[in-house]
Amino acid sequence: MMKEKIKNLAAALKEEVIQNRRHLHANPELSYQEYNTAKFVREKLEEIGITGIEQKAETGWTACIEGKNPHKKVIALRADMDALPIIEANEVSYKSKNPGVMHACGHDAHTASLLGAAKILHQVKDLFEGTVKLIFQPGEEVAPGGASLMIQDKVLENPRPNGIIGQHVMPFIPVGKVGFRQGIYMASADELYITVKGKGGHGAMPETLIDPVLIASHLIVALQQVVSRAASPKVPSVLSFGRVEALGATNVIPNEVKIQGTFRTLDEPWRAKAHQKMLQIAHGLVEGMGGEVDFEIRKGYPFLKNDPALTAKAKDAAIEYLGPDNVVDLDIWMAAEDFAYYSQVVDGCFYRLGTRNEAKGIVSGVHTPTFDIDEDALEIGAGLMAWLAVAELEKS
Ligand SMILES: [Zn+2]
Ligand SMILES: [Zn+2]
């Protein structure tokens, strides 16, 4: 039986997937600079015996594993390969050897898992019908998003997949479990860059100045009404400012204040309207107080919607593979993910792989210097991806 076969292959491959993950973890590369990572992935794919590997978006790859009747249906599996500018704080044998760069979002696990899935699928390709398209992409963490570049480079053509599945580690879900959500799952994310300009000078003579610090303080408070008043309570929205820069002193008012933040939501028309609202409030308030404002909104990834039918099928297949107790439902997650670009073109399913283990002290969130995964998750990471692809091809 196919499921047992895949489970056995995944168990046999576990050590290899762990070793690959450790190699990637120790040698992280920043977004769009994944040259050694890409080289490693290509070598592994060739070792497996996969042919027809195509380079995409400079440091990405795609390749097909054809089963019997390869044109019947195509399902794509995607992994991202980039790391983050974080100094790793974990004291582990596979600690980052690249100072200031760390796989703190688990993309090492995604890449190692997909390599494992590829090896499994290559070994069972005479037993399924259709084609599995592998996608290894660069630059998930940094705009414009490696996914958008891969799509521009025609990764979703020739053959065009009928659906695409992506896997991401989740440190809030215990190892052994996975999570799914049908429909809207993750947020759009836009970067906000505001400069409030006034007229600086001696702090003892406010009557001669236009104080950008006071104006910026009012502006930060006023903009919150976009999410508390202008937004429908039915549509989640987040407005957060994480950086305020006023380079004065106790007695020096600076000429300008810079503010950076993020706006996230789950609705495209509202996203556009919110942008207009923020600009309107900023101009009205700052100019009303005698200052000037530059307000740049850099649009980031769109919201991520999981195709309900594809996701329902994948969830059922996961229940078959792991049992009902090990498949959980996910809540909306206001982070963004460039997988959203694929899911705008073809049906997508982005699911979560549990990597938490409190007994081992593995509890840190992604994007932190102490992030790590319980590597026991990798056997599922590789096996389940292979199984979901096969299940999707067969149940059609
Ligand atoms: Zn990340
Ligand atoms: Zn990530």
Contacts of residue 143, defined as CB under 8 A and 6 or more positions apart, other chains included, come to 191, 298, 300, 301
- Ligand number nearest CA of 365 is 1
CA–centroid distance, residue 86 to ligand 2 (Å) = 14
What does residue 256 show for φ and ψ, rounded to 5 degrees?
Answer: -150, 160
Q: What are phi and psi for residue 351, nearest 5 degrees?
A: -125, 170
Three-state DSSP state, 349 = strand
Centre of ligand 1 to C-alpha 47, Å, is 29
**φ and ψ at 127, to 5 degrees?**
-105, -5
Distance of CA 125 from the midpoint of ligand 2 (Å): 29
SS3 374: coil
64-82 b/e (C-beta count within 10 Å ≥ 16 → b): bbbbeebeebbbbbbbbbb
How many angstroms is it from 105 CA to the middle of ligand 1?
5
352 Cα: distance to centroid of ligand 2 (angstroms): 11
d(CA 396, CA 391): 9
Q: How far is the CA of 297 from the centre of ligand 1 (A)?
A: 21
CA atoms within 13 A on the CB side of 305: 13
* Structure confidence by residue, pLDDT tens digits, 314-364: 999 999 999 999 999 999 999 999 999 999 999 999 999 999 999 999 999
Taking the CB of residue 379, how many other CB atoms lie within 10 A of it? 22
Q: Ligand 1 center to residue 355 CA distance, Å? A: 15
Q: Cα–Cα distance between 190 and 332 in angstroms, integer?
A: 18
Among 200, 127, 139, 135, residue whose Cα is nearest residue 166? 135
Q: How far apart are CA 219 and CA 284, in angstroms?
A: 10
Cα(80) to ligand 2 centroid in Å equals 8
Kindly give the distance from the C-alpha atom of residue 364 to the centroid of ligand 2, in angstroms, as a whole number: 14
Per-residue pLDDT for the chain (396 aa), expressed as one digit of tens each? 899 999 999 999 999 999 999 999 999 999 999 999 999 999 999 999 999 999 999 999 999 999 999 999 999 999 999 999 999 999 999 999 999 999 999 999 999 999 999 999 999 999 999 999 999 999 999 999 999 999 999 999 999 999 999 999 999 999 999 999 999 999 999 999 999 999 999 999 999 999 999 999 999 999 999 999 999 999 999 999 999 999 999 999 999 999 999 999 999 999 999 999 999 999 999 999 999 999 999 999 999 999 999 999 999 999 999 999 999 999 999 999 999 999 999 999 999 999 999 999 999 999 999 999 999 999 999 999 999 999 999 876
CA distance 105 to 170: 9
Using a cut of 0.95, tell me whether the model's pTM lies above it. no
**Helix %, strand %, coil % for the chain, to 5?**
40, 30, 35
How many other C-beta atoms lie within 10 A of the C-beta of residue 314? 27
Beta strands 347-356 and 163-174, pairing class: parallel
CA of 140 to the centre of ligand 2 (A): 7
